[in-house]
Amino acid sequence: MPNLLIIEDDAAFCQMLQKFLTKRGYDVETSFTAPDAKEKFEATNFDLILTDLRLPDYDGIQLLGDIKSVNPKTQVIVMTGYAEVGSAVNAMKKGAFDYISKPFTPDEIVMVLDNALKAQIPRDSDLRVTNANPISEENQNNFPKNKVSIENVSDANVVKGISDASVKLLEYINLVAPTDMSVLITGDSGTGKEVTAKAIHDGSKRKGFNFIAVDCGAIPKELATSEFFGHIKGSFTGAVEDKMGNFEAADKGTLFLDEVGNLSYENQIQLLRALQERKIKRVGSTKEIRVDVRIITATNEDLTEAVEQGTFREDLYHRLNEFSIQIPSLEERFEDLILFAENFLRKANTALDKNVDGFSAEVWEAFQQYHWPGNLRELQNVIKRAVLLTTGDEVHIEALPKEVLQSKEKESVADGFSKSEFEKDRIIKALKKTNFNKSKAAKLLQVTRKTLYNKINHYKLDL
C-alpha cells in the first residue's frame, strides 16, 4: 500500500481528499501546516507527497526543496489554484514530478498519483510540466491537467509530448530505431524531420558511429555523385585533392538524406545501385569500397505522386520506404505547445547568453491563437527573436512579430468571420481532426469536455 502525505491548509478539502484516496488503496496522512508536514516527512519516507504550492505559513517552492533534500526519491505532486507557467516550471525544475490545478476531478488526481508511482525518478536534464496554460483568467480552470516532458538525446532535443500524434510518433521511433530498416520520414516543412532521424539513429546499435545529414535540395545534380561517393584528385576540374563522400563518412552509421525527392533521375539510379550493392566508387576511381550504411530519408513532397508521374523511381521508393513515419504538424500537436516553447526558450537563452524565465499570459494566448504554418521551425525562430528583444525576465507581447499577433484578425477579416464564427470554425476543425471524438477534440482545443459541450450547444452545431 503506497503511503501518501497531503499538505493542504484547507482542512475540509484535505480531509475529503484523504477519505477518497484511502478508499482507493492509499495509506494517507495529512498536514495543514508546513512545520507539521516537515516533522512528518523527516520522520517517514513517503512514496508520494501531494502539496499545495501556496501555503500561508511557508513558501511552497522552498518546501518542495526541503522534501527533496530529505528524500530525493519521494515523488512530489504540486497543486495550486493559480495556473501560472512560471510557478509550474519553477516547481518542476526543483524536482516536482507533476503539477495539477484546482479544481480537479477525483479521476484526474488518481491518474496523476498512479503515474507518479509507476515513473522512475527523472534525470536532472528532464523537465516535466503539467497544466501550465497561462491564458485568459476566465478560462484558466477549464484547461486539462496534462503532463509533458522534455528529454535530451545527444545534440538534438527530442521532445516527448502528451498529444496522441506525439505519442504515436514516439512509439514509431522506438519501434523502428533498433532495426536496420530504411525509414522514409514525411511531413510539412519545419516539423522536425531531421530531429526524428537523429532520434532513430540515437536509439539504434549504430549510435556510436556517424550520423551524416545531407540536404539533397542544396546539391547541384552535377556535384551529387561526388558528394555521395567522393572523388580522387584530378578526376574533374576543381578536384584538387581526394575527397571522402557521404557514404564513406557514414560507414557503420546512418546517412540521412533530406528532401530526397529533389534528386535528379540519374542520381536516383546511382543511389539505388549503392543501396543494392552496398559498394561505392569514388569519382575517377575504379576501386570499389564496401559501405555499411543505414539510410533514412525525408521529404515534404508526395513521393507516390512523383512515382506515378515518372519523376521518381518506383524501385528506389520501395527501397527507401521499408518503414514510413509521418511527422505531425504543430497544429496536430497543439497540446504540446508549451513543451516546445519552453524547450526553445532554454535553447535561445543558451545561444544568446540571456536568462529569460518565461512568457507573459498575453504571449501564451497569442501563441495558442496562431496557426503556425512554419511549424516547429517557425516557433523556434519566433522565440529566439523574442528572447533577443527581451530586456527583462519575461517575454512580453511587444517582442512578437506582427504575423503572430495579427493572424487571428487577418483570418477573421479575410473570411468575413466574427469572433464567434472563428471560434465555431476552430471547434468544427478540431472535431474533424479527431474523427468527432469529443474528448480528444476538447484536448486539442485545450478546454474541458463540459466547456466543449456547452459551446456546441451554444452555437447549435449539428454534429
Task: Give yes or no: residues 250 and 111 share one domain.
Answer: no
Output the average pLDDT for the chain: 82
Is 340 part of any domain?
yes
Task: Give yes or no: residues 119 and 80 share one domain.
Answer: yes
CATH number for position 379: 1.10.8.60
Task: Give yes or no: residues 406 and 444 share one domain.
Answer: yes
**Secondary structure, 3-state, the chain:** CCEEEEECCCHHHHHHHHHHHHHCCCEEEEECCHHHHHHHHHHCCCCEEEEECEECCEEHHHHHHHHHHHCCCCEEEEEECCCCHHHHHHHHHCCCCEEEECCCCHHHHHHHHHHHHHCCCCCCCCEEEECCCCCCHHHHHHCCCCEEEEEEECCEEEEECCCHHHHHHHHHHHHHCCCCCCEEEECCCCCCHHHHHHHHHHCCCCCCCCEEEEEHHHCCHHHHHHHHHEECCCCCCCCCCCEECHHHHCCCCEEEEECHHHCCHHHHHHHHHHHHHCEEECECCCCEEECCCEEEEEECCCHHHHHHHCCCCHHHHHHHCCEEEECCCCHHHHHHHHHHHHHHHHHHHHHHCCCCCEECHHHHHHHHHCCCCCHHHHHHHHHHHHHHHCCCCEECHHHCCHHHHHHHHHHHHHHCCCHHHHHHHHHHHHHHHCCCCHHHHHHHHCCCHHHHHHHHHHCCCCC
Question: How does pLDDT run across 201-242, given as a tens digit for each residue?
Answer: 999 999 999 999 999 988 888 888 999 999 998 888 777 788
Task: Give yes or no: residues 187 and 298 share one domain.
Answer: yes
Task: Give yes or no: residues 355 and 417 share one domain.
Answer: yes
Query: Which one of 18-27, 65-74, 132-141, 314-323 scores highest in mean pLDDT?
Result: 314-323
Number of independent structural domains in the chain: 3
Domain that holds residue 414: 331-458
Task: Give yes or no: residues 196 and 112 share one domain.
Answer: no
Confidence (pTM)? 0.59
Task: Give yes or no: residues 59 and 138 share one domain.
Answer: yes
Question: How does pLDDT run across 372-425, given as a tens digit for each residue?
Answer: 989 999 999 999 999 999 999 999 999 999 989 875 454 444 444 455 676 788
Is 159 part of any domain?
no
Task: Give yes or no: residues 26 and 137 share one domain.
Answer: yes
